[in-house]
Amino acid sequence: MLMLWRAIGVKVPSSMSSQLSLLPTLRIPSRRFASFTMRLPLVSPTTWPRSERFSVSVTYRTIIQLAINFFCILSWYLKMRVFLFFVLCGWSADDYRHPALLLVDGVSSICALDFRMDEWGVDVALTGSQKALSLPTGLGIVCASPKALEAAKTAKSYRVFFDWSDYLKFYKMGTYWPYTPSIQLLYGLRAALDLLFEEGLDNVIARHARLGKATRLAVEAWGLKNCTQKEEWVSDTVTAVMVPPYIDSAEIVRRAWKRYNLSLGLGLNKVAGKVFRIGHLGNLNELQLLGCLAGVEMILKDVGYPVKLGSGVAAASAYLQNAIPLIPSRI
């Protein structure tokens, strides 16, 4: 999902006007972020067919025509290193250099997939505590580049709680927080980061890659399809599994919770009732994933799908048995 817009009164080195305009590009089942932007004036939505690449040249022409000065990428369902192809193959290329700010919503990817803020020219990166960091919900984590901080100084939009200047002022004073923070979540964040650094970020990314591939192999063994149609667009943090027309995927999710104490994700919007989601991110290891896959097989059997029990687990196990390395800290 991409969003391009002109932010009110933000001064960047271009001839952009200060009129607000947005171009959400909808590619993923969840469109909540786009719905937020569509409540603002002068919205022009554009869609790409599912699983097709964006056109760098077309998107760049749109940026020029609409005098865009803020560009947003949401990476909820796709590998960051692939989803940011615009940055790697277009945004940073000499033919497409542009002064617009780049924001990445990495809630379901940062600390699980490859992400290089400075190298990729990202100006604002967002993530949350409840995904790859494995904490309860409640913390929003923002990293802003000097370019973004400078642009915020000239923005004329109304801001109170989410005004960076309050945080920066208190940070310089050594108190860090302009408001009362969630102390217990901060202690949890410290512990989560300790676990992440103990494992090593490269190892964390590799583990998520193994979990993603093992899940996709299981889905294939079940005779089902991934909602993402092309291998280059699959996610290593979540897999959306398409079900036959005679099965309501919501029943799979309900039965998983009520009978097997297993939490699966519903299909959303246009794929509601057509897919269920298996999340495989955060503090999750390979054996825990195999237990989840075994549960999914039993649930599929319950709802009338002719799955061979053990087929997906066997496919995932065969791959993982050769792919799992020794634990670095225990060598």
Residue 293's pLDDT is: 98
Q: Residue ranges of the chain with pLDDT lower than 50?
A: 1-30, 42, 51, 53, 76-96
pLDDT score for 59: 58
State the pLDDT at residue 35.
67
Beta-bridged to residue 239, according to DSSP, are 278
Give the model's pLDDT for residue 137.
Answer: 92
Fold annotation for 201-330: Aspartate Aminotransferase, domain 1 (3.90.1150)
Domain coordinates in residue numbering, the chain: 2-128+140-160, 201-330
Place of tokens 């195999």: 290
Q: Are 301 and 278 in contact (CB under 8 A)?
A: no
- Give the side-chain half-sphere CA count within 13 A for 33: 24
Q: What is the reported pTM?
A: 0.81
Cβ atoms of 316 and 289 within 8 Å: the answer is yes
> Residue 117's pLDDT is what?
85
Q: Quick one: pLDDT at residue 89?
A: 43
For residue 114, the model assigns a pLDDT of 86
Right CATH for 2-128+140-160 from 3.40.640.10, 3.90.230.10, 3.40.50.450, 3.40.190.10: 3.40.640.10
Q: What is the pLDDT of residue 82?
A: 39
